[in-house]
């Protein structure tokens, strides 16, 4: 590692507790260099390319790629990569919903709240369906799954003219049914197609809950500089995320 790179250690939102392999709670990550910037600029729009970049900056030896870590851990590490490289100062542009005045705020990325894994959220990973009484376990979403969903939806659309993001997502989300792994896609599809919508809905809601149960908070409380009303805005990654200019001293 070059003498000029900076590294910091951060606690993963999952605490490493959701994996089948031994992922440590604390992960050391170093700042980017020009090789990673070239990778970032040349990324092909897949999660895989971003994960390759991120993996290269992780100093801790991890048994899996960030590609197969949950999206909550990925997003967290992505933010920390920005912080360790450029610091936490970040400008947010938003329009006040009360008076429509454009506002710009400076936030500190390190102050976005982090919610850590709690064993209580296992109830969203392993549960009984209300109608069929089948017990299902679901996979937490990973960048790998997001790429797979996009590829499969596109392939289906090219082949049949239509495709369902919902069905593809559920096929990837289902892990076991009554303790048995359904490896075969058509077996999984048959299982889903035989379920009452009330059962399907519980799976959809569970996926949403588990995927958002821990991780980086994206809501930002802001006060309009014109009308002084407070409102909530969502964090969005803009140009300043990896090409900050605001806090450069001249």
Q: Could you list the residues that contact Zn ion (CB under 5 A)?
A: 96, 98-99, 101, 224, 226-227
Task: Give the nearer residue to Zn ion in terms of CB position, either 98 or 201.
Answer: 98
The distance of closest approach from Cβ of residue 231 to Zn ion in the complex, given in angstroms and rounded to an integer, is 8
The distance of closest approach from Cβ of residue 221 to Zn ion in the complex, given in angstroms and rounded to an integer, is 14
Task: Give the nearer residue to Zn ion in terms of CB position, either 194 or 226.
Answer: 226
Residue whose pair of structure tokens reads 């008076």 in the numeric block: 99
Which residue, 215, 220, 207, is CA-closest to 170?
Answer: 207
Pairing of strands 114-115, 26-30: unpaired
Work out the widest C-alpha separation in the chain, in whole angstroms: 66
The distance of closest approach from Cβ of residue 95 to Zn ion in the complex, given in angstroms and rounded to an integer, is 9
Count the Cβ atoms, other than its own, within 10 Å of residue 18.
22
The distance of closest approach from Cβ of residue 237 to Zn ion in the complex, given in angstroms and rounded to an integer, is 24
List Cβ neighbours of 138 (8 Å cut-off, separation of 6 or more).
124, 125, 126, 173, 174, 175, 203, 206, 207, 210
Task: Give the nearer residue to Zn ion in terms of CB position, either 85 or 233.
Answer: 233
Task: Give the nearer residue to Zn ion in terms of CB position, either 63 or 97.
Answer: 97
């Amino acid at each position: 590692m070059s003498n000029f790179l900076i590294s910091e250690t951060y606690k993963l939102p999952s605490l490493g507790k959701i994996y089948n392999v031994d992922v440590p709670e604390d992960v050391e990550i170093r700042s980017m260099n020009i090789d990673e910037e070239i990778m970032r600029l040349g990324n092909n729009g897949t999660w895989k390319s971003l994960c390759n970049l991120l993996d290269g900056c992780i100093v801790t030896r991890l048994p899996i790629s960030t590609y197969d870590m949950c999206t909550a851990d990925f997003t967290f590490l992505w933010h920390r990569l920005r912080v360790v490289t450029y610091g936490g100062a970040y400008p947010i542009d938003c329009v006040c919903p009360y008076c429509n005045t454009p506002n710009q705020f400076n936030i500190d990325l390190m102050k976005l709240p982090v919610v850590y894994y709690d064993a209580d959220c296992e109830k969203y990973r392993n549960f009984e369906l209300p109608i069929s009484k089948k017990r299902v376990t679901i996979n937490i979403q990973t960048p790998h799954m997001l790429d797979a969903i996009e590829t499969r939806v596109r392939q289906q659309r090219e082949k049949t003219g239509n495709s369902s993001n919902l069905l593809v997502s559920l096929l990837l989300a289902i892990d076991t049914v009554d303790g048995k792994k359904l490896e075969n896609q058509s077996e999984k599809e048959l299982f889903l197609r035989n379920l009452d919508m009330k059962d399907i809905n519980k799976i959809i809601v569970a996926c949403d809950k588990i995927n958002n149960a821990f991780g980086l908070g994206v809501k930002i409380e802001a006060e309009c500089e014109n009308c002084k009303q407070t409102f909530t805005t969502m964090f969005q990654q803009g140009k300043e995320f990896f090409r900050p200019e605001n806090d450069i001293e001249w």
